[in-house]
């Protein structure tokens, strides 16, 4: 939710073409973070990938197949969104070229929605990420979260291996995994924005819907401390971020 607030024009991917550039790319792979997605639900699932329009990050769904392994067919909805089927038990990974980041989210069974539907009466949650963004100015952070701001339809889990250590603030170092619970049970869950709490510890500008999702706390209950983002210095990129879809809730 928070990762995609600041939108900028993104640049076109610049893939290495010369032998020297390709060699440099291979050598530098250990300093890049691989994003992986696994389907452990026991059934095939439709995955919707929505890219953030963040400068320096993957700019178009058309740029995704070259960084995807295996390269699955993607049904393009628009320049920043597409969907693909991930078979039961399958894993797909994404590794951007040197100097290019990836920002966006995964949704399951539906594109991102602000309000509950008949199919998903408790709304939907998102797995959000920005990775390999060390080119940004200041002290850029690779960041991850599960947004349950618009509800929960999926059991999602992040597993973090390699590269620098992840944290959810100084009181929560060395995060190796995190997951969401059902819609009303995410307070205290590291890496999760609870229902309607778009600012983690407060509900500032939540989605406005005709009716709240089924099972929502009223009023919304925010986190007591800022634990919604799991992050590390982008200079410490490397290893793998594995998002696991464990089924619909």
CA distances, 178 to each of 91, 181, 188, 190, 247 (Å): 19, 10, 11, 6, 16
- Nearest of 1, 246, 13 to residue 129 by alpha carbon: 1
pTM of the model: 0.89
pLDDT surpasses 90 at 198: yes
Kindly indicate the confidence band of residue 3, based on its pLDDT and cuts at 50, 70 and 90: very low
The chain-wide mean pLDDT, for the chain, equals: 90
pLDDT surpasses 70 at 152: yes
Residues 19-248, CATH architecture: Sandwich (2.60)
**In the chain, where the domains are located:** 19-248
Average pLDDT over residues 209-234: 96
The string of pLDDT tens digits covering residues 30-82 is 599 999 999 999 999 999 999 999 999 999 999 999 999 999 999 999 999 99
- Nearest of 33, 46, 6, 28 to residue 144 by alpha carbon: 33
Average pLDDT over residues 189-217: 97
Looking at residue 165, its pLDDT comes to 98
CA distances, 166 to each of 11, 78, 231, 241 (Å): 28, 33, 5, 11
**Do residues 242 and 163 make contact, with C-beta atoms less than 8 angstroms apart?**
no
């Amino acid at each position: 939710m928070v990762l995609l607030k600041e939108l900028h024009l993104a640049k076109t991917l610049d893939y290495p073409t010369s032998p020297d550039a390709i060699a440099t790319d291979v050598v530098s792979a250990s300093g890049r973070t691989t994003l992986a997605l696994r389907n452990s639900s026991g059934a095939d699932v439709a995955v919707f990938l929505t890219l953030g329009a963040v400068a320096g990050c993957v700019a178009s769904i058309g740029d995704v197949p070259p960084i995807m392994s295996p390269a699955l067919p993607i049904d393009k909805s628009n320049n920043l969104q597409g969907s693909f089927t991930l078979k039961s038990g399958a894993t797909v990974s994404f590794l951007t070229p040197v100097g290019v980041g990836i920002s966006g989210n995964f949704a399951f069974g539906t594109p991102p929605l602000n309000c509950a539907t008949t199919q998903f009466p408790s709304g939907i949650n998102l797995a959000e990420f920005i990775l390999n963004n060390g080119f940004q100015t200041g002290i850029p952070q690779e960041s991850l979260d599960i947004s349950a701001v618009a509800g929960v339809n999926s059991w999602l889990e992040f597993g973090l291996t390699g590269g620098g250590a992840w944290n959810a603030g100084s009181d929560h170092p060395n995060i190796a995994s995190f997951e969401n619970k059902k819609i009303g049970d995410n307070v205290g869950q590291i890496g999760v924005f609870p229902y309607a709490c778009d600012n983690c510890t407060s509900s500032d500008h939540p989605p406005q819907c005709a009716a709240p999702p089924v099972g929502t706390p009223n009023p919304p209950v925010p986190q007591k401390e800022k634990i919604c983002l799991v992050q590390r210095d982008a200079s410490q990129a490397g290893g793998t971020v594995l998002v696991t879809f464990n089924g619909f809730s």
